[in-house]
Every structure is written in structure tokens, then in C-alpha cells.
Structure 1
Amino acid sequence: METGVPEPAERRGDAPAARAAGVATEPAAPAGHPGWTASLLAERPAPDLRGDLSRFGVGLGLASLYGLALGARQGGVSFAHHAAGVPAALVAVACLGVPALTIVLTLFDATLDAPRALSATARAAAATGLVLGGLAPAAALFVVTSASDFTAALMGMLGLAVGGVIGVIVLLRDLRAALQRDGGLLLLAGHGAALLGFAGFAVALALRVWWGTLPILKEGVL
């Protein structure tokens, strides 16, 4: 036998160690891509204007699906009225409520800039749209098969309430997190009061918009 030539690992009885070393050096399998829903609701480390506007638009589109479901009770032009009316509340809260909240927070020395407010608003709109879009098939079934207008309006309003509450919760949580990152919670009581006041204002504004634009609600009460 020739000397100086190392024997294979298998001959020396080191096969288990060699295999273990081989396994340890193999590259890890790439992680799977997150789903569309997870990507839509994912928290972003920094505001992204283009991405936030896209996410806000997707939320509006999903919310309009719920409006189409409500319009199925009357059909015709009612489809357009409800499809525009449901997301109109999200636009009203984003354009009127969030800027007002940002101004109020500055009175409490809160450093909440516009990009972060937009990012939180877009994520909240996406959450609301996902809930309403998911409830759209059930809402269509209920409003079409309900014997009375009141029952149809009640079921439609229930879905709107669920989606709206979830959106407000997501928005307030993201705004509070942004304030904490910037050290803006030194006046915690004042900031909390401002956020709670905004929540009440957002709910009242959304209800006012829905009452004025959704015929199914008026017909269910009148």
C-alpha cells in the first residue's frame, strides 16, 4: 500500500461524520414567498408613497365589491350607487379625519409626519377592504333573500360595522406605534384622548357617508 495517501472517509469509518458535515454545509432552502394577503397587510419599515397609494387603491376596490353585493337587492343603477358609496367612507376618513388628527397631535408635541400617516391610512384601508371583500358573497346572499328591507339593511350595516371597526383599530395601532418610535408619547393622556376622539369622529363620518350614499340603508329604516 502506498504511504502518504489519505484513505477515503468511508474506509476510516468516518462516513457518518462526513455525511453530517455535508448536510451542515448544504445551503438552506429558500423561504416561500408570502401570500398576497400577507403582502397587502405587511408592516413596512419605512413609508413608500407608491406602495401606500397602491395599497389604498386595492382597499377601495375590495370595499366596492361589498357595495356591489348590497346593490344586488335592487339591481340596475343601485349597483353603481352602492359600489361607489361603500369606499366613499374610506376616502372621507382618509381625506378629512387623518389630516385633522395629525394637526391635533401636533398640539401635544407629537412628531407624526405625513408619509407615516399615509402609510397607516393605507394599511387600515386595505384591512377594511379585505374584510368587506370577504363578506361580500354572504352579504349578497342575505340582501337578496331577506324578506324585509329592514333585515337586509341590518345585515348590510353589520358587515360595514365589522370592516370599519377593524380598519379603525389597525389605523390607531399603527399611529400609536409611529408615535412611540418617535418618542412622541410623553403626553400619553393627551395623545390617547386625541386618538379616541379620532376614532369616534371616523365612525360618525363613515356612518354619515354610508347613510347618504347607500339606498339600502334608507329603505330599511323608512
Structure 2
Amino acid sequence: MQAQAPCLLIPSSSTEPGTDAGAPEPAASRVDTPAPPAAGPAAEPAVSAAAERATSAAAGAAAAEPAARAGHPGWTASLLAERQAADLRQDLARFGVGVGLAALYGLALGARQGGVSLVQHAAGVPAAMVAVACLGVPALTIVLTLFDAPLDPARALSATARAAAATGLVLGGLAPAAALFVVTSGAHETAAILGLIGLAVGGVIGVRVLLHDLGAVLRPDRGPLTWSGTTAALLGFAGFAVALALRVWWGTLPILRGGAL
């Protein structure tokens, strides 16, 4: 019989004590660990976009406060503001405010004598404004219409109310100084001159505002005859307004006549 050689299992060389450490490992024994994503250039656009949004939000918040303050004009600015569309209620209210402020200047002039003189001067100073508004402005509107000027009664009323408000603001602002000078003046002539200067300043400013608003609707492209006619009408109205105001003030303000009642 033929003898069979025994089969010996030879262990792998990697398990032997003297095996080289640099030998390659089997593929099944290696486990690849995923590397963490690197924060490279792909993350920079998101960070920059967030920074831009934060910057724009801060800039908008900083600009919101001045804009909010600018959106609320003062009482004087709203009183003298030019309105594109005429509003009868607002125009009448503005005219009434001008008359009331002018009455304060009348009270300051009447403080020299007191008593009934206070009422006379408080009513006499705005009476000139009412006379010019009721007599002069309608006549001027008719004359300008004859020259084919694009002026309607609503526009004329708005201009009159703004002029009255400007005159009232000037006279109301001069009222404390007028009261001081009128009361402390030794001569009646000095008090009359000082009072008349304040009236002249307020009246001139009011007429200037009125002519500016009425003249804004006039255009020189309508022909030289129309332009010269409307300009002459405005200048004539200015002279008429001054003469009428002086006549009313002379008849209603005792201080201008040396204090004679």
C-alpha cells in the first residue's frame, strides 16, 4: 500500500512573529473613514451673503429714524406749504389762523392804552387782511381771467389763505417786541411809527406771497400782450392792496392817530 503524506496547514506569514510590519494588509481588513468636509471657498458666498443682509438691515434701521423725522414737518412748515390741489376747508382754516395771529399784533398795539383800545386794535389789524381778501383778490381774479390766465377761484382762494398765514406769522412773531416798544415809548408819534413798521413788514410779505402764488400759473408763452397785461394787473393789485390796508388801519387803529379814540 502506498503511504499518504499528511497535510500540514501553514499559517499566514502575517501572523508569524517575525513578519515584516510593512507588508500590505488584505483589502477586506481596511476600513476607509470618511473625512470631514473642509470649509473651503464654497462656504464663503453664504457667509458673505449673511453679512451683507445684516449690514443692509443695520443701514436701513439707521436711515429709518431720519426719514421718520423728515416725514413730519413742523406746524409752521405745514401752514405755509404750497398745495397742488385746493382744499376749501384747509384754506379757510389757514386763513383763520393768519387772522388770529394778526389779532395778537393788534393786542400788542392796544397795550399802550388798554381797555377798549385792546379790542379796537385786535379787530383793526386783521380787518385790512379781510378787506384785501374780499375786495382785491376777486377783482384781480376777474382781470386775470380777461387776459386768458389759467386761474380759477379755488386757486385764488388757496393763494389768499397762504398769504394771510404768512402775514399772520410775521405779525404774531413781532407782537412781543411791538408791545415792549409801544408801552415804553414816551411819545405817541414814536409808538405809531414803530407799530406802522411792523404792519408794513407783515403786509409786504403777505402781498409778495400772494403775487408769487398767483403769478406761478401765468406763462409767458401766451403772447407778449397777455404777459404784459397780467404783469400790469399784478402790479396794480399790489398798489391797491397797500393803499386799502393803510386806509383800513388808519380808520380802525387809534395808535396811528396819536391815540385819539
Q: Quick check: TM above 0.5?
A: yes
In 2, distance between residues paired with 1:64 and 1:25?
47
TM-score (norm 1): 0.89
Change (3 A) 1:123 1:54: same
Is 1:31 aligned to residue 31 of structure 2? no
Change (3 A) 1:64 1:18: closer
TM-score (norm 2): 0.77
Q: Report matched runs for 1:5-154 at 5 Å.
A: 7=43, 17-23=52-58, 28-29=63-64, 30-32=67-69, 33-154=72-193
What is the CA RMSD across the aligned residues, in angstroms? Answer: 2.8
Instruction: Decide whether the 8 Å contact of 2:129 with 2:245 is kept in 1.
Output: yes
More deviation, 107-116/185-194: 185-194
Aligned length: 220
1:209 equivalent in structure 2? 248
One-letter code aligned to 2:135 = L
In 1, distance between residues paired with 2:95 and 2:222?
26
1:195 equivalent in structure 2? 234
Report deviation, 1:92: 0.1
Report deviation, 1:106: 1.8
Q: Which runs of 5+ in 2 are unaligned?
A: 1-35
One-letter code aligned to 1:47 = A
Report deviation, 1:120: 0.1
What secondary structure is seen at the aligned counterpart in 1 of 2:83? coil
In 2, distance between residues paired with 1:83 and 1:7?
77
Change (3 A) 1:185 1:49: farther
Change (3 A) 1:22 1:64: closer
Instruction: Decide whether the 8 Å contact of 1:154 with 1:220 is kept in 2.
Output: no
In 2, distance between residues paired with 1:69 and 1:112?
37
In 2, distance between residues paired with 1:71 and 1:18?
65
Instruction: Decide whether the 8 Å contact of 2:211 with 2:234 is kept in 1.
Output: yes
Among all aligned residue pairs of Structure 1 and Structure 2, give the percentage whose two residues are the same amino acid.
71
Change (3 A) 1:163 1:21: closer
One-letter code aligned to 1:198 = F
One-letter code aligned to 2:246 = L
